[in-house]
Amino acid sequence: MSRIHILDPLVADQIAAGEVVERPASVVKELVENSLDAMATHIDVQIEDGGRQLIAVQDDGLGMDGEDLVLSVRRHATSKIEVLEDLTRSMTLGFRGEALAAISAVSRTHLFSRLRDQAYGFHLVVDGGQIGELVPTPMAEGTLIRVEELFFNVPARLKALKSAHAELGAIQQLLQHYAIGYADVAITLRDGEKILWHTLGNGQVPDVILQLFGSEIADSLLPVQYEQEGLIIQGFVCPAIKNRGTRQGQSLYINRRWVNNWVLRNAIEEAFRPHLPDRRYPYFWLFITVDGSEVDPNAHPTKSEVRLDHERFIAGKLYHAVQASLAANSPSEPLSVASVSIEKPAQLYVSWQDSESSMPSWNWSPDTGPGAVPVLHDEYKALIPLAQWQAKYIIAQGPLGLYLIDQHAAHERVYYEQFRRQGQEILVAQPLLIPYTYTCLPGEWAKWREYRDMFFEMGFDITEVGGTTLMVRAIPQGLMNSSSDSGGIIRTVLESLTDGEHHHDHPIFWTQETRYALAACKAAIKAYRVLTIDEMQALLDMMATVDDPRGCPHGRPTTLHLTLEEVDRRFGRKG
């Protein structure tokens, strides 16, 4: 008797589902791509319990008759290709004919569809891969697919899902790529009955970016345009000063297909490199159009990656197109070199003023009273600033050699120790004169919903005002002197909860010390803030008063020290 046998179709379908259906966002991806391929102009996506209980996608596309509806849930049944050569010519998002079969194998799926100009539609139920009876039903033109109780028959996969907020965040991040890539399609996302966002479908990419990322990003868009040798590159980037601690503000499309391509993405980020702080990422939404025969979309189970002919050539053109846009629209950062001032101000702090200027004003206040902090490190007190390099580092000299000081890390250390001395006072809510609205990115919204109680504990007063927009009415007292607006403060906290530079593990384990560190990071001056020589000197003086000036609260060094002996050695001198 043979030990090898043909798998039962239900088992085979569940195995196939393991590749196609990784999580609720995978289901949304396949269903939305089907709607786009059906030439829908309106797509409505409804999610319940992060997609565990319900994923419903409704469109006004071409629809299907009863015969096609039954075939659509069978493996390898598709209307998009017929012969092998069609793979090289296919411009549709889907083509394998396995998505609906895989989805319905691990869920209870209801499919409704009606052809355009047909009097009625059809309803089909597939329960864990078991196809039910086809029933005529009255409905609007188009297709509605309801995926209920995802992974009900695969307990291990169900347990592996993240929280409802995290799964919803993944769905939001996914849908934003399609909303931007198909700006001519109106897409609505609902969490239960609440509309999180809705795009207009007017074909204007900037309008979609405005809806998803807010006016701060939309108002700073720079166009990118290149066309030559059968290659078209177009879209938008933001100036380097608009950056994030994650890559959530990036979308790359090849022939309107959203893809992940490390080579092309690195080329884009490299164009920003001279102006971008370390571990910060630019915003971009770029569309590449090439001959379809140069693209192989069948290179990945979820079609998120493609093989591309002449990839290095395209990467080079992409780099130069982005670089040209930045050069034409963004002024270069000035290098501040000034003469040394004899007078040394003793304290420096930042205050935000509501004015036309986007930069904070600096005020000086001598700290010479009875409560003045004593000098603890004569080495820093003796430093004399020479210049500011790349608007990020202070070059200073002292009796022990040459010093390179990270202005943000140094100021962060000063604020951190100041906040520690003030204690709980910095977490007292301070009402804003004018409340501030902030539109969350998809991942940020999920984190906000999951950890909003923590924001109130930290001294924020924030309310939801519709969609993914927050109204900030009060911020912690310790951040009132921050060099950034309230929206920037919210962004920093949310980034720290996702994949930002200053991640502190699960927030429920945060200590008071880490809250002080987060507040100090937001309040401190940032890279690319041009300083006067007096401001540099004041910062050095304050470094002499802190307990440990060697590193910021997050562990990054504040100072690099080069002795005269080291310089002589490197130049081959003996003294």
Tokens of residue 511, six digits: 């200590």
Reduced to 3 states (helix: H, G, I; strand: E, B; else coil), residue 189 is: strand
Tokens of residue 574, six digits: 């003996």
For residues 177 and 258, is the Cβ–Cβ distance under 8 A? yes
Q: What is the pLDDT of residues 160-178, one digit of tens each?
A: 999 898 899 999 999 999 9
Give the pLDDT of residue 378: 83
Is the pLDDT reported for residue 293 higher than 50? yes
User: pLDDT averaged over the chain?
Assistant: 80
DSSP string, 217-252: HHTT-EEEEEEETTEEEEEEE--TTSEESSSTTEEE
Residue of higher predicted confidence among 295 and 320: 320
Helix residue ranges, H only, 127-204:
155-160, 164-181
Residue of higher predicted confidence among 278 and 265: 265
CA 563 to chain centre: 42
At 275, the pLDDT band (50, 70, 90 cuts) reads confident
| CA atoms of 196 and 208, how far apart (whole Å) | 14
Between 141-145, 480-484, 522-526, the lowest mean confidence (pLDDT) is in 480-484
| CA atoms of 176 and 181, how far apart (whole Å) | 8
C-alpha distances in angstroms, 391 versus 139, 357, 388, 453? Answer: 62, 19, 6, 37
Against a cut of 0.75, is the pTM above it?
A: no
Give the pLDDT of residue 79: 61
What the chain holds in terms of domains, given with CATH numbers, is: 7-196 (3.30.565.10), 219-297+304-327 (3.30.230.10), 375-498+511-574 (3.30.1540.20)
Residue of higher predicted confidence among 502 and 442: 442
Helix residue ranges, H only, 259-308:
262-272
Tokens of residue 344, six digits: 């040394």
Tokens of residue 372, six digits: 């003045």
At 393, the pLDDT band (50, 70, 90 cuts) reads very high
